[in-house]
Structure 1
């Protein structure tokens, strides 16, 4: 989470989203764009975590339904 706030573009790159990381870096280069880039990175990280939780729940429900 700290990485997403301090270096938003790196947060995307670490998660394998290279093109998104480059776009975020371009936005982050401007001082005004830093805040939107940080918000974007944090929201993206939270969405990825939520997707992982949902996938895990779906898998668990399918296994219990057998």
Structure 2
């Protein structure tokens, strides 16, 4: 999934169900200069999503 975020940042957002963010990222990545910030944004967003999911699992495990 990280490779998709680097090479196809807007598809990375689409696969996670963030439609408006994917559209904004697509507009950004259309330009060659905007591709690098779009890729960084997609990778950071993916890492934050994974961390949030991991934290939610830990919180759920602590409540049991």
How many residues align? The count is 63
For 1:16, what is the secondary structure of its paired residue? coil
1:1-66 equivalent positions in 2, closer than 5 A: 1-63=2-64
Q: Deviation above 2 Å: which 4+ runs of structure 1?
A: none
Post-superposition shift, 1:37? 0.1
- Aligned CA RMSD, in angstroms, stands at 0.2
Separation of aligned partners in 1, 2:17 and 2:5: 14
Return 5+ residue gaps in structure 1 as ranges: none
Q: Computing the radius of gyration over CA atoms, which structure comes out larger, 1 or 2?
A: 1
TM-score, normalised to structure 2, is: 0.98
Secondary structure of 1:11 counterpart? helix
Gaps of 5+ in 2: none
Q: Deviations 1:16-58 (Å, cap 9, x if unpaired)?
A: 0010000000000000000000000000000000000000000
